[in-house]
Amino acid sequence: MRRVVTLFGKEAKALFTSPIAYVVVATFLLIMGYAFTARLFISQRASLIPDFFQAAVLLLLIVPVITMRLFAEERRSGTFELLLTSPVREIEVVLAKYLASLSVVVIMIALTLPYAVVLTTYGEPDMGPIYTGYLGLLLLGSALVALGLLISALTANQIVAATLALGLFLLMWMLDTLGAFLPAPFDYLILHLSLLAHFTPFASGAVYLADIGFFLTVVLFGLALSMRALVRR
Amino acid sequence: MCRGRNAPAVFPEAHTISTPVVVTEHLTKDYGPFRAVHDVSFEVGAGEVLGLLGPNGSGKTTILRILTGYLQPSGGTARIAGFDVVEQSLEARRHIGYVPEDVPLYGNMTVDEFLAFMGRIKGLYGSPLREAIDSSIEKLSLQPMRRRAIRKLSRGYRQRVAIAQALLNKPELLILDEPSNGLDPRQIIELRELIRWLAESHTVLVTSHILGEIERVASRVAVLLQGRLLAVESLDQLGHPRLRLRVRASTAEPVQTIIESAPGVVRVVSAASGEDGTHRFVVEIAEGSAAENIAAALTMGGVGLLEMTETRVDLENLFLDLTGGAAA
């Protein structure tokens, strides 16, 4: 565990001493803040539901930028060899990189909390969808970071890692669109792989164990396969 | 470069392998259809400096990467301090201090931060960590650079930082991959001195494609070519002079028997047949008169002696002998 903390510190420092984390968070907040303000003045409704969907789509675009360098950068500079020939377990390396990237996503999401504060101060929003919406964003962010990490572990090129992650995320987001046209049981399978289908209940105030289970399964799948990618060299 | 060192100038006695720190048996590594390492078996005894010598692409780095757990072998086994590098990889890695080729370091860290990070992931915390860092810094004379960002250091200092991190957990085995790459002549001399000094308290496995480098620091040398181990020779046993012979005969075997029976011949190191009915031999001899004895024995046996040259016995010649003159 102490090694994970040490490795996490190294990863977090690399993220927060470079402009990456700040540029990513600032861009996210600029777009979110603009849309939140515009929507609030136009619709005059105390609801964050549209903002959660917008945040989710921004996560699809931004997470690949955070995760693309995780392994690719170390592979390029050769420090990967130094790290993995030290007495560390692959799971420790994977967990540290995962948690450091997730921390950027969590900070990003946490910095939108003032929107909820504004709504509760000047209006009477339904708090249920706000709580579940944030839970949904956190789960979606966790799953996306795990998949981004896996793709980064499979390629030495940052651009390739980012492009593949972006493609996978967008495809998984809208997978259910054409799912209904497929014959059974494929329609069922495709629908249940859709990020949008699993995220929608959270954003609108409903929590289903199946949706939580889906996102946690994706996290475990991403971490386990990342570890396997490191072990089988 | 280092303080408090009394580097031995030469390795005075022939090295006998004590408890082996490194044991590889039939080690093989394939990259797809390409076999980078073929059936390599060798041992490195405690306190020994073994040089892995071979041209670029001969499999040296691949072998080191297998030993350090970075790559998995396709076949065969390797053990470090008794621990299998695949089955007990973590334990094996605890006994290794590794300096990879091109000394990859985290450039955004200062020397102190980097050593603290590497120490912690090697399991050192608190005062043992501080002591280990101070000791490594002192051994490598890195005091003036402690707070400097690694990306701003010269190649020579980066090399020292890489060696300093390898020493942190007092490893039994130090592995240095092409340590003289990119250093200027003065730094290379300092590095040699450093390796000799480190060898006083560690088992060292060092690679190079430069023959002279290995010769100056190693007690034994393992020669690799195209992934195959050609020979493991003790440098101390290379004191015998050698003769290169070229003879004309229908077959090589009877000629080799004649040469071996000549007084003063230690052994036939290598034999190669040419297409023009000539055969080349490299013969290790014990005394100067062996040359005359061989010449007389060949003449008596009716073998045409075309050429006989005495060669200086050094690694260059050894390498040429073993590779048939093709690889050096």
pLDDT of residue B62 exceeding 70: yes
Q: Grade residue A151 by pLDDT with cuts at 50, 70 and 90.
A: very high
| A79:B106 CB<8 A | yes
**Span B14-31, average pLDDT:** 79
Residues of B in contact with A80 (CB under 8 A): 104
Residues of B in contact with A232 (CB under 8 A): 72
CA angle in degrees (0–180, nearest 5) for A176-A179-A180: 110
Residues of B in contact with A78 (CB under 8 A): 100, 102, 104
Tell me the pLDDT tens digit for each residue of B74-102: 999 999 999 999 999 999 999 999 999 88
| B100:A233 CB<8 A | no
Tokens of B221: 């040398």
Q: What is the ipTM score, two decimals?
A: 0.83
Determine the Cα–Cα distance for residues A172 and A167; give it in Å rounded to an integer: 9
Closest Cα in chain B to A92: B121
DSSP B89-146: HHHHHHTEEEE-TT----TTSBHHHHHHHHHHHTT--HHHHHHHHHHHHHHTT-GGGT
B199 to B177, B185, B202: CA distances (angstroms) = 15, 21, 5
**Span A29-50, average pLDDT:** 89
Best mutation target, B66, B95, B120, to test chain A (most A CBs within 10 A): B120
Distance from CA of B291 to the nearest CA of A (A): 51
Tell me the pLDDT tens digit for each residue of A155-180: 888 999 999 999 999 999 988 777 77
**Span B299-328, average pLDDT:** 71
| A3:B125 CB<8 A | no
A156 to A70, A75, A80, A168: CA distances (angstroms) = 10, 6, 11, 18
Distance from CA of B246 to the nearest CA of A (A): 47
| A81:B104 CB<8 A | yes
Residues of B in contact with A89 (CB under 8 A): 90
Residue closest to B265 by CA, chosen among B233, B231, B288: B288
According to the model, what pLDDT value does residue B322 have? 67
The number of domains in chain A is: 1
B/e letters for A35-71, b = 16+ CB within 10 Å, e = fewer, are ebeebbeeeeebbbbebbbbbbebbbebbbbbbbbbb
According to the model, what pLDDT value does residue B264 have? 86
According to the model, what pLDDT value does residue A167 have? 95
DSSP A123: S
Closest Cα in chain A to B96: A86
Identify whether the C-beta of residue B175 lies closer than 8 Å to the C-beta of residue B208: no
**Span B270-294, average pLDDT:** 84
Contacts of B233 (CB under 8 A, 6+ apart): B220, B221, B223, B318
Q: Which H or E element spans position B248?
A: strand B242-248
According to the model, what pLDDT value does residue B238 have? 56
Distance from CA of B121 to the nearest CA of A (A): 5
Domain span at residue A117 reads 2-232
Given the DSSP bridges, would you call strands B173-176 and B203-208 parallel, antiparallel or unpaired? parallel
pLDDT of residue B8 exceeding 70: no
Closest Cα in chain B to A77: B104
pLDDT of residue B10 exceeding 80: no
| B121:A3 CB<8 A | yes
Which among A10, A78, A81 is the nearest to B117, CB-wise? Answer: A10
Under an 8 Å CB criterion, which residues of A touch B?
2-3, 6-7, 9-10, 13-14, 17-18, 77-89, 232-233
Identify whether the C-beta of residue B100 lies closer than 8 Å to the C-beta of residue B145: no
Which among B102, B121, B125 is the nearest to A86, CB-wise? Answer: B121
| B104:A2 CB<8 A | no
DSSP A25-74: HHHHHHHHHHHHHHHHHHH-----HHHHHHHHHHHHHHHHHHHTTTTHHH
Which among A2, A3, A85 is the nearest to B68, CB-wise? Answer: A85
Identify whether the C-beta of residue B286 lies closer than 8 Å to the C-beta of residue B242: no
B48 to A203, B14, B109, B162: CA distances (angstroms) = 66, 11, 34, 21
Tell me the pLDDT tens digit for each residue of B160-219: 999 999 999 899 999 999 888 878 888 888 888 888 888 888 899 999 887 777 878 888
Q: Grade residue B15 by pLDDT with cuts at 50, 70 and 90.
A: very low
Distance from CA of B189 to the nearest CA of A (A): 25
Residues of B in contact with A95 (CB under 8 A): none
Contacts of B199 (CB under 8 A, 6+ apart): B47, B49, B217
Tell me the pLDDT tens digit for each residue of B222-247: 888 888 888 787 776 655 678 889 99
Which among A6, A14, A17 is the nearest to B121, CB-wise? Answer: A6
Q: How many residues does chain A have?
A: 233
Residue found under tokens 């400096």: B49
Determine the Cα–Cα distance for residues B65 and B62; give it in Å rounded to an integer: 5
Identify whether the C-beta of residue B90 lies closer than 8 Å to the C-beta of residue A87: yes
According to the model, what pLDDT value does residue A231 have? 76
Distance from CA of A8 to the nearest CA of B (A): 11
Closest Cα in chain A to B67: A85
Interface A–B counts its CB contacts (< 8 A) at 64
Q: Residue B226: count other Cβ atoms within 10 Å of its Cβ.
A: 16
Closest Cα in chain A to B114: A10
DSSP A161-204: HHHHHHHHHHHHHSTHHHHTTSPTTHHHHHHHH-HHHHHHHHHT
| B118:A86 CB<8 A | yes
Which among A79, A80, A86 is the nearest to B93, CB-wise? Answer: A86
| B122:A87 CB<8 A | yes
Q: Residue B45: count other Cβ atoms within 10 Å of its Cβ.
A: 18
Map residue A18 onto helix, strand or coil.
coil
Contacts of A160 (CB under 8 A, 6+ apart): none
| B120:A17 CB<8 A | no
Residues of B in contact with A82 (CB under 8 A): 98, 100, 104-105, 118, 165
Determine the Cα–Cα distance for residues A147 and A141; give it in Å rounded to an integer: 10
CA angle in degrees (0–180, nearest 5) for B302-B305-B308: 150
Residues of B in contact with A83 (CB under 8 A): 121
B/e letters for A206-231, b = 16+ CB within 10 Å, e = fewer, are eeeeebeebbeebbeebbebbbebbe
Q: Grade residue A147 by pLDDT with cuts at 50, 70 and 90.
A: very high
Of the two residues A205 and A140, the one the predictor is more confident about is A140
